[in-house]
Structure 1
Amino acid sequence: MANTLALSSSTAGQDEGAQVTFDDQQKINSYARKTNKLSELLDEIKNKKKELQNLEDAGDELLMLDDDNAIIPYQIGESFLGHSIEDTQALVESAKEEVQKDIKQLEKSTEEIRDTLKELKVQLYAKFGNSINLEMDDA
């Protein structure tokens, strides 16, 4: 691929004008996309963990109820439906299992992305050295 760009070095001793090939640019773009996706997944994991904590708190509150005949409002979508304590506990447990499954899947996806990012980082730093910055802030 004849299409190249010059990437200037900020440190003395580095190869002035390292060439950025089309393949290199594709790797850089892939790194940026995967970094953004990783950030989104980490935010989603954080939200799912908060949701799981809320479900656990709700389950604990249900255990403290004294009235066995109470009707508990349970939100499904935008509606609240009345259920018995046992039914509500079962719904909460089911929701907790689903959220835990989602968290595991998201964590698996983040690990796959992190592995890919490590490979890309090694390849890009090998070619460009200190001329490129691929460090992420919080990931």
Structure 2
Amino acid sequence: MSAANFKDYGVVHIKHEDQQRICLFARMQATLTETREELESKKKLYENVLEAIQQVEEASLLADDDAELTIPFELGDVFVHLNAEEAQESLSRRKTSLETEMASLETKADQLEQDVGRTRVELYKALGTNICLDLDD
């Protein structure tokens, strides 16, 4: 690297508590990213469950006898055949469970965003332009 490309910003002294806040900020940011990814995954799964509910309802309407209609339903690594009513109940329970999980993840993400924002402000206040806390998206 040539001397023309190097800027001397001087020596920056970072206090121990500032270093601790930087580490905390990094952990919170990583947790926030993971939480957002998990939330997106749950949303996609939720959409799939809604679509499955609709397909079971349509199949039930088209079937002559609901008792004979069986729906392949994935449980773990295997598929079992359930009648339409059992499949509908299982999908409804899964839908409710996903709604609860998504609400919890949204609350967690909101709290993390507030904490990350507050810590970012504290670090910029303490270190000014000597630190960059923005993500490169």
TM-score by length of 1: 0.84
Decide whether the 8 Å contact of 1:9 with 1:131 is kept in 2.
Answer: no
**Going by fraction, where is helix more abundant, 1 or 2?**
2
The corresponding residue for 1:51 is: 45
Worse-matched range after superposition: 64-73 or 46-55: 64-73
1:9/1:61 CA distance change after superposition, 3 Å: farther
Measured on the aligned residues, the alpha-carbon RMSD in Å equals: 1.6
Which residue number in structure 1 is paired with residue 123 of structure 2? Answer: 124
Deviations along 1:43-86, one digit per CA (max 9) or x if unpaired, are 10110000000001101111111222211111111121211101
Residue pairs, 1:18-57, within 5 angstroms: 18-57=12-51
Identity of aligned residues (%): 25
CA drift of 1:18 comes to 3.8
**Superposition deviation, residue 136 in structure 1:** 2.6
CA distance in 1, matches of 2:19, 2:89: 52
Amino acid at match of 1:72: I
Counterpart code for 2:83? S
Alpha-carbon distance, 1:119 to partner = 1.3
Query: Per-residue displacement from partner, 1:88-124 (whole Å, max 9, x unpaired)?
Result: 0110011011011111111111111111111111110
Task: Tell me the TM-score normalised to structure 2 length.
Answer: 0.85
SS at match of 1:74: strand
Alignment of 1:30-109 (within 5 A): 30-65=24-59, 66-67=62-63, 68=66, 69-109=68-108
Tell me if structure 2 keeps the 8 A contact 1:74–1:83. Answer: yes
Gaps of 5+ in 2: 1-6
Question: Unpaired segments of 5 or more residues in structure 1?
Answer: 1-7, 11-15
